[in-house]
């Protein structure tokens, strides 16, 4: 639980653990209202993955390229309740069932609807994160090494997503790329 004197309460909570100069820069950009425009300039267009089928294909292509030996995915879907209920941007779940005399496991990945109108780099970052959980269940050194092997700019994209989430929490970024001309 954050302390009441914690300066990273509110929109900046996504930047816990980052160096003070980076947090200060985001705080300044957020205060003067230029963070959203800076992100829009750096990432000008939204991705084209619009429905669950396209998302399944997108995730499947990344998995086939980088994690060929990982367990198959039963389902990949956008999830409108994810961010508000689970306080997560994506989830990877395993559901084990006994069928006859054996146990079968279904794996699912769900991505928060917030990413529907995000730039391709942000979608790729969250998908890479969830795919990495197929091999590495914990957020440890091996996990982040795998993320960086799949996406070399993973850490930069993660920081930019976190800055965007600060902007969204402050009320200025949820529909940023939707307004920039997201595909129907």
**What digits encode the pLDDT tens for the residues 40-60?**
999 999 999 999 999 999 999
The residue among 66, 71, 52, 170 whose CA lies nearest residue 111 is 52
CB atoms within 10 A of CB 183: 10
Does the pLDDT value for residue 87 go beyond 90? no
Query: Over pLDDT 70: what percentage of the chain?
Result: 89
The stretch 8-24 carries a mean pLDDT of 86
Q: How many residues does the chain have?
A: 184
The residue among 182, 120, 177, 176 whose CA lies nearest residue 151 is 120
pTM of this structure: 0.86
Question: Which of 27-31, 77-81, 92-96 is least confident?
Answer: 92-96
* DSSP helix/strand/coil, 95: strand
* DSSP helix/strand/coil, 14: helix
- Cβ contact 42:179 at 8 Å: no
Does the pLDDT value for residue 139 go beyond 80? yes
pLDDT score at 88: 66
pLDDT score at 96: 76
Domain residue limits, the chain: 17-178
Does the pLDDT value for residue 137 go beyond 60? yes
Distance CA 174, CA 118 (A): 9
Distance CA 1, CA 169 (A): 19
Longest Cα separation, the chain: 62
Residue 4: band (very low, low, confident or very high) from pLDDT cuts 50, 70, 90 = very low
Q: Which residues contact residue 102 at a Cβ distance below 8 angstroms, ignoring those fewer than 6 apart?
A: none
Does the pLDDT value for residue 1 go beyond 90? no
Mean pLDDT for the chain overall = 86
Distance CA 110, CA 169 (A): 21
Report the DSSP beta bridge partners of residue 129: none
Distance CA 155, CA 161 (A): 10
């Amino acid at each position: 639980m954050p302390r009441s004197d914690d300066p990273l309460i509110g929109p900046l909570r996504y930047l816990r653990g980052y160096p003070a100069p980076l947090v200060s820069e985001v705080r300044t950009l957020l205060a003067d209202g230029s963070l959203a425009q800076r992100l829009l300039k750096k990432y000008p267009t939204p991705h084209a993955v619009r429905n669950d089928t396209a998302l399944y294909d997108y995730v499947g292509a990344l998995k086939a390229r980088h994690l060929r030996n990982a367990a198959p995915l039963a389902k990949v879907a956008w999830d409108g309740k994810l961010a508000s209920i689970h306080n997560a941007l994506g989830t990877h779940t395993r559901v084990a069932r006994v069928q006859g005399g054996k146990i079968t496991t279904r794996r699912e990945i769900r991505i928060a609807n917030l990413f529907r109108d995000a730039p391709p780099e942000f979608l790729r970052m969250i998908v890479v994160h969830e795919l990495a959980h197929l091999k590495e269940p914990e957020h440890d050194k091996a996990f982040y090494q795998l993320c960086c092997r799949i996406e070399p700019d993973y850490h930069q994209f993660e920081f930019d997503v976190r800055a965007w989430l600060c902007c969204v929490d402050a009320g200025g970024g949820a529909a940023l790329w939707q307004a920039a001309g997201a595909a129907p």
